[in-house]
């Protein structure tokens, strides 16, 4: 495959203007980032979903800034073309604007990200504006916002009434005005997401929001069938790799236990004379 140009916020804007779909996947480590980058994906999101898919937490609110930065650094070392977005974790931007800007800056300065993502609508406008004014691109996220799922009454579709849909549109327009370069729409009825996308000049990235968004995002482990705790309705598995991996690991254990691995083919030799000296000190 011919080498592709580095993705930037300008690239993403042009894709929307030209009607070219934007592709987004999460990644959480060096080999994952390499694979996603080599596949030609436009944006790599180091999502706070790593709390569940990588760290084993029951939800996304448990992941810390230090954990996010650790994984972002690994992803930045593995990707060269994709645009890199770090997900600001719970309580890293809610306390006050100064702390939000400081934490956003750490994603750029320390972790090699090129933008940050944060959840919320009009209630986070001043925070978004402050981060953007500091020179850091911001991706918004509205609809189902997992960090505040408890407040929303659980992991439910958002914007199902005319009033709720209007609130989402108002949030999206406000985030655009505040300076966001794109907005994630999660678990939003497809017609609502399409209408919002058509009224914005910045790209929308859908997850469970239908085909009318400007781009789509899924979680790395969901796409590959590696996360089996639950599978959201909006997920399509393009591979079912969990069982083949489990089969390979089981085969390894069985061969070691049966004395079938390692064989001579997997071992290193030593000169016979050197071995004799080692074993017997050169004595006949």
Which residues participate in catalysis according to the annotation? 186
Bridge partner list, 46: 86
Q: How many Å apart are CA 46 and CA 40, to the nearest integer?
A: 16
CB count within 10 Å of CB 228 equals 10
Which is nearest to 90 in space by CA: 125, 47, 122? Answer: 47
Distance CA 93, CA 118 (A): 8
CA distance 63 to 90: 8
What whole-number distance in Å separates Cα of residue 228 and Cα of residue 185?
24
Whether residue 60 contacts residue 52, with contact meaning beta carbons closer than 8 Å, is answered with yes
Interior/surface letters 230-253, b for 16+ CB within 10 angstroms, e for the rest: eeeebbebeeeeeeeeeeeeeeee
Q: How far apart are CA 44 and CA 32, in angstroms?
A: 10
Torsion of CA 270, 275, 279, 281, to 10 degrees: -140
């Amino acid at each position: 495959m011919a080498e592709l140009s580095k993705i930037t916020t300008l690239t993403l804007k042009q894709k929307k203007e030209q009607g070219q779909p934007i592709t987004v996947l999460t990644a959480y480590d060096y080999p994952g980032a390499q694979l996603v980058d080599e596949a030609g994906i436009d944006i790599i999101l180091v999502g706070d979903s790593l709390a569940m898919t990588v760290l084993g937490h029951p939800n996304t609110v448990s992941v810390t800034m230090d954990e996010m930065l650790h994984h972002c650094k690994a992803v930045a070392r593995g990707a060269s073309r994709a645009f890199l977005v770090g997900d600001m974790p719970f309580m890293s931007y809610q306390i006050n604007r100064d702390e939000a800007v400081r934490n956003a800056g750490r994603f750029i300065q320390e972790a090699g990200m090129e933008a940050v993502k944060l959840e919320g609508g009009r209630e986070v406008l001043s925070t978004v504006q402050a981060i953007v004014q500091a020179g850091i691109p911001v991706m918004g996220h509205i609809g189902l916002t997992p960090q505040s799922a408890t407040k929303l009454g659980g992991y439910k579709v958002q914007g199902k009434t005319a009033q709720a849909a209007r609130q989402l549109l108002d949030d999206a327009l406000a985030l655009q005005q505040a300076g966001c370069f794109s907005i994630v729409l999660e678990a939003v009825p497809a017609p609502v997401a399409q209408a919002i996308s058509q009224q914005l000049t910045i790209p929308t990235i859908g997850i469970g929001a239908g085909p009318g968004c400007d781009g789509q995002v899924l979680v790395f482990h969901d796409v590959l069938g590696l996360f089996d705790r639950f599978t959201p309705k909006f997920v399509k598995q393009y591979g079912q790799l969990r069982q083949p991996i489990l089969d390979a690991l089981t085969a390894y254990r069985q061969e070691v236990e049966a004395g079938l691995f390692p064989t001579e083919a997997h071992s290193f030799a030593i000169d016979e004379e050197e071995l004799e000296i080692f074993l017997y000190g050169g004595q006949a």
